[in-house]
Structure 1
């Protein structure tokens, strides 16, 4: 299993990480996320676009609003790739390439 670098890059931003934490509890629209994070609407929208493009969130139209929902399978995939990397490091901790 290789690292999902797109997901990891997206997760590295503090505001995007906060948005994901909020979406883990419930589907929210942009106005909820603006209120909860204190970030500007355009900033939140840009981050949501990046999260959507990375496959970490999905949209759910509801009337004139769009709700965002965390995709647990995508987050699990990123977590699994990090777990696999940690396991490789454990298994190979005694190996050293000679100079």
Structure 2
């Protein structure tokens, strides 16, 4: 249960952001994994700029954070975000999305971009 209420405008913005199936899937995956942009490109069969745009929107809301490791940027959920408990309740209602990620990693051992 949420310990604090969030403002209606903020809840609407988050729900609008998560109303996109790709971003919602990304958030579900990131709730248990750290991923590189290249992994999402492969997983969603989207261009790198399109994936980066989705991640930028999530980052702008403060829902994800990035960490640079060499030339690669890895994303994870920012669990310290004040809206994370609200988002977590939504994510907990969804089926796991990381089967495709695990299969992709298994098949690309040695060929991974990152």
Residue number in structure 2 paired with 1:62:
69
Residue number in structure 2 paired with 1:43:
50
TM-score of the superposed pair, with normalisation by structure 2: 0.62
Who wins on radius of gyration, i.e. which is larger?
1
Contact 1:16 1:47 survives alignment (8 Å): yes
Residue number in structure 1 paired with 2:15:
8
TM-score of the superposed pair, with normalisation by structure 1: 0.70
User: d(CA) in 2 for partners of 1:63 and 1:79?
Assistant: 30
Q: 1:51-98: CA deviations, max 9, x gaps?
A: 000111001111111100012343314467xxxxxxxxxxxxxxxxxx
Query: Unpaired runs of 5+ in structure 2?
Result: 90-114
Q: How many residues align?
A: 80
Query: Unpaired runs of 5+ in structure 1?
Result: 81-99
